[in-house]
Amino acid sequence: MERMDLYCAAHPRGPSAVRRPQLRMRGQLWIAILGPSIEEGVVGIGPTIEAALRAFDAQYLVGLQPPMQTIHRRLGLGASTIGPA
Using one digit for the tens of pLDDT, what is the confidence trace for 28-59? 999 999 999 989 999 999 999 999 999 999 99
Three-state SS string over 49-79 comes to HHHHHHHHHHHHHHHHCCCHHHHHHHHCCCH
Q: How far is CA 15 from CA 6, 39, 41, 56, in A?
A: 14, 19, 14, 8
pLDDT for position 71 = 54
Domain boundaries, the chain: 2-77
pLDDT for 85 beyond 80: no
